[in-house]
Amino acid sequence: MVVVRGVSPRLAGEALGSNMSIQMGLHEAPLNRSVRIARIVDPQTRMQLLRLGITEGSEVICEQRLPFGPVVLRHRHNRLALGRRIARDIHVAVA
Amino acid sequence: MTRTSHSEPDRRSAVAGRRIVLVGNPNAGKSVVFGAMSGMYVDVSNYPGTTIEISQAPYGQDRLQDSPGVYGLGSFNDEERVARDVILQADILVNVVDAVHLERDLFLTLQLLELAKPMVVALNMMDEAASRGLKIDPARLEQQLGVPVIPTVAVRREGIDALEAALDRARPGQGDPHWRVVLDELADAVGGRGEALLLLEGDRDVAARHPDLPVEAMREEIYQTRRRRADAVVESCVGPFTYRQQVRDRVSRLMLHPVSGALILLAVLWGMFEVVGVLVAGDLVGVTEGMLMQERYEPAVQGAVGRVVAPARYTVQPRAPLAERLDELADSSDAAVARAAEEVRQAWDERLADQPWREGGAWREDVRALEQVLSPDAQQALRRVNAWDALVDPSGYYRTLRFPNDTLAGKAATVLAGEYGVLTHTVRYLVGLLLPLVLAFYLLLALLEDCGYLPRLATLTDRALNTIGLNGRAIIPIILGFGCVTMATITTRLLGTEREKSIAASILNFVIPCSAQLGVIVGILALAVAAAGGQAGPILLYVAVILTILVLLGTLLDRLLPGRSSHLFIELPPLRLPRLGNVTKKTFVRSFAFMKEAAPWFVVGSLAVGLMQVTGLLTAARDALAPLTERWLLLTREAADVFIMGLVRRDFGAAGLTRLANEGTLTPYQMTVSLIVVTLFVPCIASLLILVKERGVRQAAAIWVGTWLTAFAVGGLVAQALRMAGML
């Protein structure tokens, strides 16, 4: 598994073709595509997300991303807005 | 709110005096269920030692209690702590669960099961689940959880009767077998399963209660197993998940997109402005009639005070237009007219000035009576220049009241019922101005909250607020700040860290103009623009300076204050139409809570100024400030009045400015400088006192001193710069 920071969504999309699973921060995840949570770095965030039903392994969809701003993610029917700092420390892989 | 009919009172009185607590995630519909179950006698009060409000109501022989919406029990924030404490003391739990978000809500449910308290689950929002194609099996869920599960649609009161009937079947349910042994053992040691669970989860407050028990916190493990169990339950009780996008999801998207979001925000702001404008201005007019009705209340009070304490005297004066007109006439080249003007002046002095008190509108008769008093020659002359009708029309005059300032009784009377009298002026202000304003803003807030726009607004503005050390949540106090800064300062409680509360409170009290000022500011800027020949310069300058100070202050505080601010982590509930009942209830509850909390301080402030007035302190302060105003701010001497009055009430300061502006003694840019100073100047006394209460004396004092310095420094710099540029 390769952990790459600052991967552009297009590159991530291209990598889909290969067997590599590229990880990126949630704030860089491709929009409207199912991604799997690989790692949640901050324990506090991990706890808060867990209560809401999101853990490492959950599939979420990054619906919107505000310029330099929060990320809107959807898990099943639940929508959350996470500040960019928090989103940066959630590592996801394109499912 | 009508009471549901209960046919068998005995059924519930079997176990008398039970505490039935509603618990659930935010937005699960808890308050709606509470409303459906409770009657009219809802008591809303602060949980002791906190600022969190708890609703309670009698329920037959028992007591129904609502708890703050939480995602879990613990000590993440005040809501969780209060919920935890309320729940631990409950006899029966009613867990309201959102059927659409079962995987989320069940986390709390499973945690509650560990408490081994009799419980019932209300599976709410079944209608929304159906519309999203979710198939849930309540019977299966009941079997897995071990407690009665009642499907409900609380907003339509469906299932509420079944829910109430189920209360007697409430039972402890099935906790996680994984933890049962550990919990049972620990429960014996600490006196209760609830304590045991929280101790194991690492709750700091509970751990502090048992310092002798070094229990290793196993929160992570417990949470993970709970999560897995919740997922398993959802897997077995809910049909296959397919995401169905609804129209509201598209609208939600639009709200969050920077461009369309900004447009929507502008529309919302415009709507707010209209509503508040109508409500407050309309109410203002209504209350001016009410004030005219207060012109029955006030005179009555003043009369009473006059009878009991010290007799009042009043002076009837011409309003500005009429006074100016007379000045013109006095300088007229037509001798007859000039003579007539002199006669009028004399008549005013003799018949309208310093008159002994009379009830109600009697003074208007005095004005009309001028007709008889003035000579026929004068009348002829004045009719010739078309000034007669205006002269004898009472609406061109206003009356000011004065209690004698030389006796102690007179001073007491002034403090009570004089210009800034506690009984007259303050009451009028609180009821006529503040209350409609607070109602309007809380109404707007409740509407935005109920339809789900508020969290989206917080998301949209998060980035901008990050620059000043805050996150999107702070938009709420900022919006309220444009209503009443005192109200907004109280709302800073909902921010994540002390640091953010300080930054927000500072910004509110330094920069944000409350609506009392805002109307006047807009009016004077319009005047300034007109006086500047239509140039937008004054507006641009004002906005630029204020915004700059806002950003500078925020950035400075962000750098200087220790610690780190919290980041946005907010749920975006599905958009929906606001429910009228919920909105009005929230509005009234919050408005009255605010009035209860803040009104005394407005009274104190008014009292303080009244005392300052009668002791001559007010005049002394004006004189002391005058040189600064004249030489540094390059304004007129009278402008000092404005700033002093701003100490009491922000709108005084601004209104005083209107008077000056109307008199034409200030140039457009002088007006702008005064507006800048007025905006940046100290918070009003009520705001200051609430600031002391919320943030402590040191912060409040720092802010107070800071605003003095900032207001005069910035105002002066701008004034001097303008003078050098030859624009003043």
Cα–Cα distances in Å, from B509 out to B3, B77, B437, B550, B686?
A: 44, 26, 18, 11, 11
The reply to whether residue A83 touches residue B258, judged by beta carbons under 8 angstroms, is: no
Q: Which residues of B touch A48 (CB under 8 A)?
A: 71, 76, 569
What is each CA distance from B88 to A28, A36, B92, in whole angstroms? 43, 37, 10
For the question of whether the overall pTM of this predicted structure is more than 0.90, the answer is no
* pLDDT tens-digit readout, A11-63: 655 555 544 568 889 999 999 999 999 999 998 899 899 989 899 999 999 99
Predicted local confidence at residue A11, as pLDDT: 63
> Could you tell me if B474 and B500 are in contact, meaning their C-beta atoms sit under 8 angstroms apart?
yes
Neighbours of B240 (CB within 10 A): 8
pLDDT band at A10 (very low <50, low <70, confident <90, very high): low
Which residue of chain B has the CA closest to A44? B76
CB contact under 8 A, A77 and B132: yes
B673 in Cβ contact with B633 (< 8 Å): yes
Q: Are A83 and B253 within 8 A, CB to CB? A: no
pLDDT the model gives residue B556:
93
Rounded to a whole number, what is the distance in Å from the CA of B200 to chain A's nearest CA? 15
Query: Going edge to edge, which strands form the sheet with B569-571?
Result: A2-3, A22-25, A90-94, A34-40, A59-65, A71-75, A78-82, B569-571
Spatial distance between the Cα atoms of A5 and B456, rounded to a whole number of angstroms: 28
Query: How far is it, in rounded angstroms, from Cα B544 to Cα B202?
Result: 50
Distance of alpha carbon B41 from alpha carbon B327, whole angstroms:
63
Residue B426, helix vs strand vs coil: helix
Q: Which residues contact B143 (CB under 8 A, 6 or more apart)?
A: none
Q: For B633-682, give the secondary structure using H, E and C.
A: CCCCCCHHHHHHHHHHCHHHHHHHHHHHHHHCCCCHHHHHHHHHHHHHCC
**Type of residue at B357:** W
Q: Maximum CA pair distance of chain B?
A: 109
* Cβ separation A50–B227 shorter than 8 A: yes
Residue B364 tokens read as: 């208007």
Q: Token pair of B440, please?
A: 């309007």
Cβ atoms of residues B23 and B93 within 8 Å = yes
Interchain proximity A83–B458, CB inside 8 Å: no
Among the listed residues B663, B681, B683, B662, the one whose alpha carbon sits nearest the alpha carbon of residue B673: B681
Question: In angstroms, rounded to a whole number, what is the distance separating the alpha carbons of residues B632 and B635?
Answer: 8
B77 burial via Cβ count (<10 Å: 0-12, 13-18, 19+): middle
Alpha-carbon distance of B437 to B254, in angstroms, equals 31
Q: Do A76 and B567 touch (CB under 8 A)?
A: no
**Pairing verdict, β B19-24 and B92-98:** parallel
B569 and A51 within 8 Å at the Cβ level: the answer is no
Pick the residue from chain B with its C-alpha nearest to A86.
B567
* Maximal C-alpha separation, chain A: 35
Q: What is the pLDDT of residue A85?
A: 92
CA distance B445 to B488: 12
Crossing angle of helices B498-510 and B685-695, rounded to 10°: 170
Contact B107 A45 (CB under 8 A): no
Q: Do A70 and B252 touch (CB under 8 A)?
A: no
Closest Cα to residue B186, out of B213, B209, B219? B213
Q: Which residue among B219, B227, B572 sits closest to A81, beta carbon to beta carbon?
A: B572
On chain B, the residues whose CB falls within 8 A of the CB of A55 are 224, 227
Cβ distance of A83 and B220 shorter than 8 Å: no
Q: Is the C-alpha dihedral spanning B604, B609, B614, B620 positive or negative?
A: positive
pLDDT score of B7? 40
Mutation site for A-interface testing, chosen from B80, B568, B571 by largest number of A Cβ within 10 Å = B568
Q: Interface of chain A against chain B, CB under 8 Å?
A: 43, 45-48, 50-53, 55, 63-64, 66-70, 72, 74-86
A86, B569: Cβ pair inside 8 Å? yes
**Residue entry with tokens 């995401």:** B243
Strand, coil or helix: B21: strand
Structure tokens at B313: 């005297």
Instruction: State how far residue B478 is from chain A, nearest Cα, in angstroms.
Output: 19
User: How many whole angstroms separate alpha carbon B726 and alpha carbon B728?
Assistant: 6
How far apart are alpha carbons B436 and B379 in whole angstroms? Answer: 46
Please list every residue in chain B whose beta carbon sits closer than 8 Å to the beta carbon of residue A32: none
Of residues B224, B258, B569, nearest to A48 (C-beta): B569
Q: How far is B466 from chain A (nearest CA, A)?
A: 9
Which residues in chain A touch residue B112, judged by CB atoms under 8 angstroms apart? Answer: none
User: What is the reported pLDDT for B652?
Assistant: 63
Q: What are phi and psi of A39, to 5 degrees?
A: -155, 140
pLDDT at A3 over 50: yes
Structure tokens at B116: 């081994």
Amino acid A65: pLDDT: 93
Contact yes or no for A66 and B243 at CB 8 A: no
State which residue of chain A sits closest to B240, comparing Cα positions: A76
DSSP B15: T
Picking from B151, B26, B160, the residue whose alpha carbon sits closest to that of residue B83 is B26
Measuring CA to CA, which residue among B121, B117, B124, B115 is closest to residue B144? B121
* B153 DSSP assignment: B
- From B145's Cα to the closest Cα of chain A, the distance in A is 18
DSSP state of B169: G
Closest Cβ–Cβ partner in B104, B460, B466 for A52: B104
Least Cα distance to B61 among B2, B30, B20, B4 occurs for B20
User: Which helix H or strand E contains B344, and what residues bound it?
Assistant: helix B335-347
Strands (E), B462-606: 569-571
ipTM of the complex: 0.84
Whether residue B651 contacts residue B627, with contact meaning beta carbons closer than 8 Å, is answered with no
Q: Tell me which chain B residues have a C-beta less than 8 angstroms from the C-beta of A46.
A: 220
Of B155, B227, B107, B244, the closest CA to residue A77 belongs to B244
Query: Is there a contact between A62 and A69 (Cβ–Cβ < 8 Å)?
Result: no
User: Which residue out of B79, B572, B575 would a mutagenesis test of the A interface target, given it has the greatest number of A Cβ atoms within 10 Å?
Assistant: B572
Locus of tokens 């105002």: B715
Which of B256, B258, B570 lies nearest to residue A80, judging by beta carbons? B570
Whole-angstrom Cα distance, residue B376 to residue B380? 6
Q: Quick check: B460 and A47 CB within 8 A?
A: no
Q: Are B400 and B314 in contact, with CB atoms under 8 Å apart?
A: yes
Whether residues A43 and B458 touch (CB distance < 8 A) is answered with no
B102 to chain A, minimum CA–CA distance in Å?
Answer: 9
Chain B residue whose CA is closest to A56: B224
8 Å CB contact between B226 and B111: yes
Q: Spell out which residues of chain B touch residue A70, defining contact as CB-CB under 8 Å.
A: 459, 462-463, 472, 568
Q: What share of chain A is helix, strand, coil (3-state, %, to 5)?
A: 25, 35, 40
Gyration radius (Cα) of chain B, Å: 32
Residues lower than pLDDT 70 in chain B:
1-16, 40, 49-51, 214-215, 278-296, 299, 359-360, 419-420, 648-655
Nearest-CB residue to A72 (from B101, B466, B572): B572
Q: Which residues of B touch A (CB under 8 A)?
A: 71-72, 76, 100-101, 103-104, 107-108, 132, 219-220, 223-224, 227, 230-231, 241, 243, 252-253, 256-258, 455-456, 458-460, 462-463, 466, 471-472, 567-574
Cα(B178)–Cα(B590) distance, integer angstroms: 44
Please name the residue of chain B whose CA is at the shortest distance from the CA of residue A69: B463
Q: What is the pLDDT of residue B650?
A: 65
Contact B459 A81 (CB under 8 A): yes
CB contact under 8 A, B253 and A70: no
Nearest CA in chain A to B466: A69
Measured distance CA(B660)–CA(B678) in Å, rounded? 13
B22: which strand partners? B66, B94
Q: Indicate yes or no: CB of B223 within 8 angstroms of CB of A64.
A: no
Terminal CA-CA length for chain B: 61
Contact (CB, 8 A) for B458 and B568: yes
Of the candidates B72, B455, B463, the beta carbon closest to that of A51 is on B72
Given a contact cutoff of 8 angstroms between Cβ atoms, the answer to whether B13 and B24 are in contact is: no
Apex CA B621: angle with CA B616 and CA B624, to 5°? Answer: 125
Rounded Cα distance, B151 and B126, in Å = 7
